[in-house]
Chains A and B, each alone.
Chain A
């Protein structure tokens, strides 16, 4: 029976490696494996054989020597072949010229002086022409039409890499003039604030030019334009279209084929495009998008992508907001800005307040509130213990109901940790610890306070309206558990669940927030159970197996 299961397992794995396995076969495969560590090991080793075959030098050696996957070997092999060829190649004979050619190339030339006639009329004409030219040049410099009239400021940039000729000039605060030539942004994002208050966010690679005080030309790349009422009429020109703002936010992209793509996000725009002999003018409203084909000039409907364009950037934090509605707090714990720039399996030590990998040992600590200097979005961290007054913010907010705990902690406050004792975090069979299912892992006793003002400053004009999270104790914790979950806003308890002893999803949180709220604090405490000795001699501490998870914790932004 065991052999049959093994054979069947291997047959299914071969199909899976070729993407030829059906849903029913997948279910069968998992049934064969579930609860059978030896079969799982067999599967692991079987798959590794396939991988090793792909990497095998012997397998690769059956091709020509200099076509191996190792680039160094390839290069050396190629050079060896070239050297061998060099040694064995036939000498090539070059014919020498047999004619004795006259090699004299330069002959003396006699120059006869000539006196050209110059009339007075010619002289007067020359003088007048020179004066006129001088006046024209002076006029251009003193009354510039377009060129050298400054009309916009480079107000912000994130990871911007400019073409070499612009690098000295393009720094935050630089003034840009009309018709000063094309500008190349090779990578990153740059924001231009026009003097008429229109704001343009350019995403590289891009080439653009400021055509006039209310007009920008885009050769290729992406730009997002936010136009206040006083700047209505601001326009984006491309090779095959003009987009005129009618009081709105819109994005324009020139793709690799030269097509113009317009996405109107708010308000309305006017699109003028089509063949030069028969231009078309149409109004494009919020939620609509059009594509102007470079080759045919045809105008087509396309889906409006509200997240395609960077809409707000912050050079201090490197934040880029593309209209996402939620901000990942787990990412912030990992040192990020809430949009995926943080490190998974990384966190903050509650005693030092410093970024840290996960430690796994019982440690005692005082309940001092530590500020987190390295992270602008986190106010502080602590090991909660109501034995003494529990401070939970830099502004003096207190956690009045903080229970008395053992003062022990086991791990750091973690963003999406890897396996703990070989086990991933899981709530109701959803694995946490990846980009799609991030979590803040807080093994009791731990507390963290987020600075909502700092987070808010990334989105001028937007509001944080809600905190959302799944909460519970991971099903994968070894033994029984007992922990408390708390959520406080400016020191006021907005959620608590005490003595959670059931593993899995305990609650789905939706906590409303307002513009006046400053600090969001998450706390887990050890449930007040006392240390005890188990039958096997193991001393069970109060925090053991309190694997507390805030799953997919986000701040909703509107």
Chain B
């Protein structure tokens, strides 16, 4: 399954998670952060892809999609707890290894560190934590040379 097809399935699955919807989940659209529709967002972007030859004539690409989970900074106490809770909500995708659409064996490869995203004049505006989702695409080839 290609990256674009896989990301589209992942997007739909993420939008169905608790506390998320089409309002605050988008693909590569960081303008959402300024629109004030929510205080937390999940924004998808392509990660590294690694093709590996798995048989004598077949390669497998491990596609990665980085899901950036953003939480607007409000105060020191509730903001981190909210972020960690929303990340936990998104882990529900682990129960859908095919993402409802034939994706093969998807899983979460890594949940990154929580980071503070600073404003230009100092002070955090957002907290962010990345979830890296992986799936694989097998392609059989006939060598031309």
A and B physically associate: no
Q: What is A's interface to B at a CB cutoff of 8 Å?
A: none
Q: What is B's interface to A at a CB cutoff of 8 Å?
A: none
